[in-house]
Amino acid sequence: MPLDILVGAQWGDEGKGRLTDLLAEQAQIVARYSGGDNAGHTVTVGGRVFKLHLLPSGILHPRTVGVLGNGMVVNPARLLEELAMLSQAGVEVSPARVKLSAAAHLITPAHIALDRAEEAARGEGRIGTTGRGIGPAYTAKIARQGLRAELLLDPEALAERVAEQIRQANRTLERVYGQPALDPVAIAAEYVDHARRLAPYVIDTSLYLHRQLRAGARVIAEGAQGALLDVDHGTYPYVTSSSPAAGGVFNGLGVGPKFVDRIIGVTKAFQTRVGEGPFPTEAFGPEAERLRGTGANPWDEFGTTTGRPRRCGWLDLVLLRYAIRVNGLTELAITKLDVLSGLPALKLCAAYRAGADRHEELPLGPADLAPFTAEWETLPGWDADLSGARTPADLPPAARAYLQRIEALAGVPVTMVSVGPERSQIVFL
Ligand code: GDP
Ligand code: IMO
Ligand code: MG
């Protein structure tokens, strides 16, 4: 059974890209099943840093095919930019290696303008979206007004549909939000140009994946975002508009669960979040600054997509256990253990307190975390630089104890620990 699922177990940016890249060595196909270019997946190979937003992180292996599944929302201009970036870097990105689902939805400039106008109108209640048009594109999909990638195969129909969509969005942009109207004719012409270049990539990816899986190919489903940003299971309404949790794989790729082997959840050794919303283990002041870094290292906690400083805090086991449950995780991969080196003590949140009550599980899920405060466990830190660790024996006893405590509180095995952004900086447990 050769479908491995790799999902974020937190609020995104867990290091899914770097782990997908590592595991893709053993896979024939890597497929994205949800989200769009709100994702920013950083992969570091031999000192070269690749920032991927739409293409699956397996694409850097010469023989791995990348699939953009039907569950995605795709900005064609951004996809073309990413294909060009990779091509310039010497990565082959012909239609033989990149497949775009005919049923994926297209993002247009109107979705982006609406995303930004809606955020501005929310004021204090803003979500902190990436401004990439994700919410409005999924809204259009669910409202049965979306533009699917299959239109790239019919430029005449595409031009008509795009112009119509822009005209309709203009009414909202102008009348509701007082924003300038977009030019339907110019944008339709741009999309016809995108279609000319992207049409060769469009196929029925469900059929393709099914045939490959039946023939024994190993496929990795690469999550974007994270369980706590899932529209159903996340910290609603401070979530994205798609289903990044493992269940989203089946709808987002059009394959059945029978193929699944491993369901790997990726979590940092601490907790971060970018954008608004509750965060019970958030740290502030010097503690937060220490976890975030100054921006001097490429991995410091500043958004890949937007450059925003990420909010930082301590690992939250209540939310991690929740992510294990809603994703059905078989194992955990922990990233950025190296970042904790030099801290005198480490905190873990094993349970929440709300008044006199203690909660190991959230009564109503994580939508409203406001009543809860963290109950801390404090563990000793370590000083050693972990970046050269390759086997469990290379880790100091305090680091091993920290991992063992996480494993005990999580209830699933920790199978991989990364100690740096490079493909090689990994310890298999
Ligand atoms: P993703 O969205 O889940 O793929 O994660 P991002 O790429 O947005 O953010 C993870 C950041 O941490 C990237 O800059 C990675 O290169 C970096 N990174 C991943 N794993 C490690 C690690 O174990 N140690 C360090 N120091 N950096 C890491
Ligand atoms: P990767 O795949 C971190 C967050 C945004 C915002 C909320 C909604 O790199 O882990 P959206 O633009 O999706 O409507 O924004 O979701 N968000 C992410 N945070 N990593 C991501 O992707 C994210 N994608 C969206 O910051 O809070
Ligand atoms: Mg990211």
Q: Which amino acid is residue 201, in one-letter code?
A: Y
Instruction: Kindly report, residue by residue over 405-423, the tens digit of the pLDDT.
Output: 999 999 999 999 999 999 9
Last residue of a domain, one of 136, 166, 200: 200
Query: Choosing from 4, 21, 37, 41, which is the catalytic residue?
Result: 41
Identify whether 97 is part of a domain: no
84 and 215 in one domain?
Answer: yes
Q: What is the CATH number of the domain that holds 346?
A: 3.90.170.10
Identify whether 217 is part of a domain: yes
Residues contacting 115, CB < 8 A, separation 6+: 129, 131, 132, 133, 134, 135, 136
As for ligand 2, residues whose beta carbon falls within 6 Å of it are 8, 11-13, 38-41, 127-130, 132, 134-135, 224-226, 229, 240-241, 274-275, 304
366 and 232 in one domain?
Answer: yes
220 and 72 in one domain?
Answer: yes
| pLDDT given at position 389 | 98
234 and 150 in one domain?
Answer: no
Instruction: Kindly report, residue by residue over 358-408, the tens digit of the pLDDT.
Output: 999 998 999 999 999 999 999 999 999 999 999 999 999 999 999 999 999
In this structure, what token pair is assigned to residue 371? 């009543």
Instruction: Kindly report, residue by residue over 263-294, the tens digit of the pLDDT.
Output: 999 999 999 999 899 999 999 999 999 999 99
Identify whether 290 is part of a domain: yes
Mean pLDDT for the stretch of residues 215-232: 98
24 and 114 in one domain?
Answer: no
Instruction: Kindly report, residue by residue over 179-219, the tens digit of the pLDDT.
Output: 999 999 999 999 999 999 999 999 999 999 999 999 999 99
Q: Would you call 331 helix, strand, or coil by DSSP? A: strand
295 and 163 in one domain?
Answer: no
427 touches 416 (CB < 8 A): yes
Identify whether 96 is part of a domain: no
| Region at 194 (left for phi over 0; alpha for psi -120 to 50; beta for the rest) | alpha
Ligand 2 centroid from CA 247, angstroms: 18
364 and 232 in one domain?
Answer: yes
> What band does 1 get if pLDDT is binned at 50, 70 and 90?
low
Identify whether 347 is part of a domain: yes
Q: What is the CATH number of the domain that holds 190?
A: 1.10.300.10
Last residue of a domain, one of 174, 200, 226: 200
Taking the C-alpha atoms of 8, 11, 17 and 19 in order, what is their torsion angle to the nearest 10 degrees? -50
Report phi then psi at 365, rounded to 5: 80, 180
| pLDDT given at position 46 | 94
Neighbouring CB atoms inside 10 A of 370's CB total 8
Ligand 3 centroid from CA 336, angstroms: 14
Last residue of a domain, one of 146, 181, 200: 200
Identify whether 293 is part of a domain: yes
Is-catalytic flag, 359? no
400 and 340 in one domain?
Answer: yes
284 and 403 in one domain?
Answer: yes
| pLDDT given at position 275 | 86
Of all protein residues, the one whose alpha carbon is nearest to atom 24 of ligand 1 is: 420
280 and 386 in one domain?
Answer: yes
In this structure, what token pair is assigned to residue 328? 């059905």
| pLDDT given at position 116 | 98
Instruction: Kindly report, residue by residue over 19-77, the tens digit of the pLDDT.
Output: 999 999 999 999 999 999 999 999 999 999 999 999 999 999 999 999 999 999 999 99
Mean pLDDT for the stretch of residues 245-250: 98
| pLDDT given at position 240 | 98
Query: pLDDT at residue 5 above 60?
Result: yes
Q: Which amino acid is residue 69, in one-letter code?
A: G
Is-catalytic flag, 41? yes
Mean pLDDT for the stretch of residues 135-162: 98
257 and 226 in one domain?
Answer: yes
Identify whether 233 is part of a domain: yes
Report phi then psi at 422, rounded to 5: -70, 150
* Full-model pTM: 0.97
Domains of the chain: total = 2
Domain span at residue 148?
Answer: 105-200
Of all protein residues, the one whose alpha carbon is nearest to atom 8 of ligand 1 is: 13
Identify whether 351 is part of a domain: yes
Instruction: Kindly report, residue by residue over 80-129, the tens digit of the pLDDT.
Output: 999 999 999 999 999 999 999 999 999 999 999 999 999 999 999 999 99
400 and 335 in one domain?
Answer: yes
Best mutation site among 229, 233, 302, 306 for ligand 2, i.e. most ligand atoms within 8 A of its Cβ? 229
